[in-house]
Amino acid sequence: MNKIPLGQLLDVAICAAEAAGNHALANKHRRTEANDIFDHDIKLVLDVECQKIAEEVIASEFPEHGILGEEDIRGNPAEAYEWIIDPIDGTMNYTHGHPFWCCSIAVRHHETILAGCVFAPEFGDYYTAHIEDVAKLNGQPIRVSKTKRLQDAMIFTGLSKHMRSHKEPHFEMFQMLALNTRKVRINGSAALDLCHVATGTSDGFFETSIYLWDYAAAGLIAERAGAVLFLYPHQDIPHGATVLCANEHLIDGLRAIHTKCI
């Protein structure tokens, strides 16, 4: 059973996300400094720096807790509490000076996500939630949309960084979404996409091959705003999953598309 007050956990998540996100914002002039470049991804020097800053904030309050991050894994794997960090979600946006990026911090006890914060520094937006309270944007409660038909919905999505050919299921799923919804949008940050589901500015989210640190905090935020979240773990990608999220009226339609394409 969780013994640490949820409010305390959320406060630390907010502080860690703010510290990491503000470091990235203050160092935008270094946004192209790369450690590794891949066909469909990039790893920045600032990814590592921001992760370390978030870890320092967490360790100052909970030095014994574990860390699972996009850039680092540390601590005792048997520790019941684990912090899940994406220091810059939307890295490609960030490198190009596009403002749709964020820092995501969540904490889980065993396998249950307890609290999380997604901080979008360019907009000054803090999306927050813990499991016993409603989701909030800048301290104000938020709620999913009331759209009832998939053909009326705007769905946010993305294309996997693991793409190798045009025959892969990512493209079939994208086509099915495009044909069965009002509009599909690709924004480049899964965490912020899920937060927009929480605010009702998107009706749903559907993406394959994203990672736990992409959706841990934002998935909880969406759920606490009334969304239904489905995860389909990828056996061949550690911490990877296909993620579907929408209000209760739309989720079955997204699940049906997923079933047709797998």
Task: Give pLDDT tens digits for 242-255.
Answer: 999 999 999 999 99
Annotated binding site: 70, 86, 88-89, 214
Task: Write out pLDDT tens, residues 49-75.
Answer: 999 999 999 999 999 999 998 766 776
- State the alpha helices, DSSP H only, in the chain: 6-26, 45-61, 91-95, 169-180, 190-199, 212-224, 251-261
Give 52-119 as a DSSP string.
Answer: HHHHHHHHHH-TTSEEEESS-EES-TT-SEEEEEEEEESHHHHHTT-S--EEEEEEEETTEEEEEEEE
Query: What one-letter code names the amino acid at 165?
Result: S
Domain ranges of the chain: 6-139, 150-261
Annotated binding site for Mg(2+): 70, 86, 88-89, 214
Structure tokens at 117: 């914060």
By percentage, how much of the chain surpasses pLDDT 70? 91
Task: Give the architecture-level CATH label for domain 6-139.
Answer: 2-Layer Sandwich (3.30)
Which residues lie across from 155 on neighbouring strands?
A: 184, 204
Which residues lie across from 186 on neighbouring strands?
A: 157
- Which helix (DSSP H) or strand (DSSP E) does residue 154 occupy? strand 154-157
* Spatial distance between the Cα atoms of 64 and 82, rounded to a whole number of angstroms: 10
150-261 CATH fold: D-Maltodextrin-Binding Protein; domain 2 (3.40.190)
Q: What is the pTM of this model?
A: 0.93
Task: Write out pLDDT tens, residues 24-44.
Answer: 999 999 998 887 776 555 678
